Structure 1
Amino acid sequence: MAQSTSAPVTAFLRHNYRHFNAAALIDAADAYVSHLDKGGKMMVTLAGAMSTAELGISLAEMIRQDKVHAITCTGANLEEDIYNLVAHDHYARVPNYRDLTPEDEQKLLDQHFNRVTDTCIPEAEAIRRIEKAVLEEWQAADQAGERYFPHEFMYRILRSGKLKEFYQIDPKDSWMVAAAEKNIPIIVPGWEDSTNGNIFAGHCMEGDIKNVHTVRSGIEYMMYLAELYTEMTKTSTIGFFQIGGGIAGDFPICVVPMLHQDLGRTEVPLWGYFCQISDSTTSYGSYSGAVPNEKITWGKLAIDTPKFIIESDASIVAPLVFAIVLGQ
């Protein structure tokens, strides 16, 4: 393939990344591009703390350029992109995090920092600032007898403009801002297991919110995804680009066997592409570390589905894959 001087990152990768996981990265990125070129759509799933790793710098552009058409993420990734948006300058980095003692960790807590590896999220400027904004939306919906998904509440606070005065990064580097502008569907399974999920539970217990069902549930998310997948695949297949493991990947990939086996919608195609970036291994029944072929037995992937695993650090690998897809 000819090298393009206008795409220096891609040229560097193609010249240097020739073997092992490096070669898998190139193959997966090329297949991603091929899938889109054939009219396919792509779902990206976000596990871990990719928003705190500032994946939004590259993912937002993927969304703007229609390289991503749906996202499944943990509740942490949903909120932490917005935390970074409004409190970036107040974050603290701890490059020597491996050397911290329990006493060092307590000092961080006393300073109201919540540590994620080498990055500390400031409670007041990030968590409580978002709590105030989203609580207003929860209560307004509660009083009106309306119900919305977790991502819809986040879309509402972003679109309202009430947070703009607090922006501390360029909003073009926020994947949630890009997603709200494009109105792409987001699936957030297990949202209860997040800071805002815990906060919502607390406000329900205190009586600030009367109806616990004001925020729609994970079962409703699966029903929503089933109808979304059925509709989107009427004109194209959908690929599955999985960053990390856990519920962010496990939940959405199951929609296909559910549609086939539980709803009898056998005309719905399987996932049309699969790639996972993971450092998990196949042991003790690990699903996150399972090779893609295992998914054939569960009715998720076909024999001829393009399948890739890049066994590496997603915070390094994902932006490089996105650079190739974006032609950078």
Structure 2
Amino acid sequence: MTAQTSGSAASGAELDAARLLLARMGVSVEDLLATPADRLPVPTFAEYIPTVSDAVTDGTRRVYGSYWNRIAEHWGDRHLDEPTPSEIKQLVEYVKVNVVARRNARGGRSAGEHLIAALRCLYRHAEDDELIVAADNPARKVAKPRRLPSTRRAVADTRLAEINETAATTGNDPALDSLLLRLHTETACRRGGALALRPQDLDPDQCLIFLREKGETVRWQPVSPTLMAHLVRHAAERGAPRDGQLLRYADGRPITTRRYDHLWARLGKHLPWVATQQISTHWLRHTTLTWVERNFGYAVARAYAGHADSGGDAGTTTTYVRASVQEVAAALAALTGEPHPLT
């Protein structure tokens, strides 16, 4: 039998074996024939974090900024493709152990969750920039800690009255603090939505305000005629420009989240149960939405909260039971005891 020379054609069996091997490797013939593009050099964390920070929204930067700083402290000189999933888990445990201890802390679970989310954000941008491929993304291979149920709940009516009374009779700007509390109680908006509110977002005729909140969600939210009058007067008296921030100090400066921090710290000094339970603005959201759900049902509460129609656990049925702004206004009218133009 004559031996097959090196330049002779491969047999059918050999070709079948080659095809089988390529299929198992996930490689196509086109992949072999294509000329590989020159991959950009993989930057270090210290080099790439500022790039991603400039590309995300202010809200994302505020949430992940401190965790990106922690990553830069530990891995600043390392390239993005160097850390392994095991090293990420080690960094998560380090952050959980060294987190600033607070009375409502849960063993650093939230810090660990946010660190993994911050890394995933970095690596997602690295994939988009073709610095790494999805298969080489170590953050994808590390599971987030399971989120525990929130300890927040609705505040009782008597307790809510104490909060409002204390805010209105203490501090250096009771009018501002009372306005903040009423705004959040009526609308169940988040702090970001209140801080983003502008005079041009007010519709006095229909008693609606335009809220822009996290996830770039927007909605027209009904408010009572009383709250609308106070918002309009506040903007006029404190010199808020039409396209600028509405909520301002007495000297005209826009307020920040620090105003909320100072408000609840003061309330905690006068009302010890506020400090003990770590009551915050988000508890007002829980309070209002709980009342709306109990009295007007899930669909109205969902619309009142401004939750996005993403399906999720509620399923696609929510598409067909979406509440209207008129129904939200009816719930508000019952909550405040004031008639609303949309009802």
TM-score per shorter chain, which class? under 0.3
Q: More helix by proportion, 1 or 2? A: 2
Tell me which of the two structures has the higher relative contact order, counting C-alpha pairs closer than 8 angstroms and 6 or more residues apart. Answer: 1
Query: Normalized against structure 1, the TM-score is what?
Result: 0.25
Q: Which has the larger radius of gyration?
A: 2
